[in-house]
Chains A and B, each alone.
Chain A
Amino acid sequence: MSDESGSIWQALLSTGEYIATDADYEHGYDRRIREDLVRVVTFRVGDERHAVPIRQVREITRCFGTTPVPRTNDYITGVGTLRGELVPVLCLATRLGMAPGPVTRNSRIVLVTLDENIFGLQVDSVDGVMAIPPESLREPPSVLGGGSNAMHRDFVFALAREETGLVIVLNIATVVVPADFVHPRFRGAEVRR
């Protein structure tokens, strides 16, 4: 289901907490691996680099076929079946207020867990796993919170400035809000479950 680099990341993900990174080796091999590092999976959406905490990521897959669901918000790509399980897929670019790019061979769906349910986040490409020292995490600047971007600021858990650039760590609980999937026009209609 995944190409070679994808499967490497799968393997890394499965080993969980203690993956040494470049930062770990900065002062030589005997440096103790810090245990308080925030481990995230990083991916690209448009020109930005985003990340989600690794413990909330279950799997990364290539894009699978989804069926559009009527009456939902535009960021809901649709619902797909992955190994017999129904998975709602969100277009992360649309959700974050950006123009969605085309689906390419690098496009991936990051399967995240929230309250024991699985949701797919469609991204343009997956970079890898990164360990961020807590002290380099920054509150998102308040300017993000102004005007129509107010929603967007809620999505951001923290910002991390790495050598490779800015990484936006997302707060999954505010990005994936099941109660918000349905288009507002159809909310509160007679629901029988």
Chain B
Amino acid sequence: MKLVLLVEDEPWLAEVYEQHFLAANFTVLRAGDAQEAIEILDAKKPHVIVLDMMLPNGNGVQLLHEMQSYVDLKDIPVIIYSSVANRLPKTLRAYGVTAILDKTTTRPRVLVERAEELLAA
């Protein structure tokens, strides 16, 4: 079973992404901020993480930093799905980021296809 962690603070968007991942036979975990994501990662290891960058109580970069500190988390592929995608530095790839998608122009279906491609590679 493919397991995805969605880190998105806007609940209506998170729900939409969840529907798309469920339709593609993923099991879905959801976190509304970086702290909640860390708590989930303490208990479960998803195959891929979808990460919004602008989160309450911190941001996506802080979560990426935190993940790099742990051997069992640092290699989990991360797809950044953010409305500030075009302003993010390419150097984020050093933090396990495998794709950066602009959520204002990329449909959730494409996000799921990208996640499937990553897992198939």
A, B co-complexed: no
B residues neighboring A (CB under 8 Å): none
